């Protein structure tokens, strides 16, 4: 029985390999999309970014806003181009977990729709953080066998 990796590797030179690489890139782009969009939104509405940082107690707000923009774009770029992909994926995973615990403290909200929405968003972000760990593990495994 052949492994999934050997089947993918066997087609790497042909059309199947191009399709797999394209799907792989699109999946990575989908994972990074929220960070790219978030950074661009902060750039286009810097006053809104400052208000967001202040709201969450991240002061000085300009320093944190610029740092978040640079971090989100840099880590996304590293993941997408495949340079230092594993460390960048772990960094975005840890960033996501930290931001989730800062911004989505559903346990502090009274029962109701707002709490339910915050709870759902919290666990969606935990899932996103887990997906970045999988990206890192996949990259480390890939590098170990090539």
pLDDT per residue over 84-100, tens digit each? 999 999 999 999 999 99
| The predicted structure's pLDDT at residue 13 | 56
Is the Cβ–Cβ distance between 108 and 95 less than 8 Å?
no
| Confidence at residue 15, expressed as pLDDT on a 0 to 100 scale | 72
pLDDT digits (tens, 9 = 90+) for 39-79: 999 999 999 999 999 999 999 999 999 999 999 999 999 99
Q: What pLDDT score does 4 carry? A: 45
pLDDT for the residue numbered 112:
98
What are the angstrom distances between the C-alpha of 44 and each of 50, 61, 79, 92, 98?
12, 16, 23, 22, 24
**For residues 22-36, b (16+ Cβ closer than 10 Å) or e, as one string?**
eeeeeebeebbeebe
Question: What tokens were used for 128?
Answer: 């996103």
Burial of residue 118 (number of CB atoms within 10 Å: 0-12, 13-18, 19+): middle
Give the pLDDT band of residue 145 (cuts 50, 70, 90).
confident
**pTM value?**
0.86
Question: Once rounded to an integer, what is the mean pLDDT over residues 36-40?
Answer: 98
């Amino acid at each position: 029985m052949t492994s999934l990796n050997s089947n993918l590797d066997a087609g790497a030179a042909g059309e199947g390999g191009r399709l797999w690489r394209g799907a792989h890139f699109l999946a990575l782009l989908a994972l990074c999309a929220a960070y790219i969009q978030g950074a661009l939104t902060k750039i286009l509405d810097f006053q809104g970014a400052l208000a967001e940082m202040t709201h969450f107690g991240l002061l000085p707000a300009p320093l944190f806003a610029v740092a978040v923009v640079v971090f989100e774009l840099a880590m996304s770029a590293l993941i997408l181009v495949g340079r230092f992909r594993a460390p960048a994926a772990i960094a975005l995973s840890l960033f996501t977990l930290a931001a989730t615990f800062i911004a989505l403290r559903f346990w502090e909200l009274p029962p109701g729709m707002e709490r339910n929405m915050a709870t759902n968003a919290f666990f969606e972000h935990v899932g996103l953080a887990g997906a970045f760990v999988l990206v890192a593990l996949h990259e480390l495994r890939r590098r170990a066998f090539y």
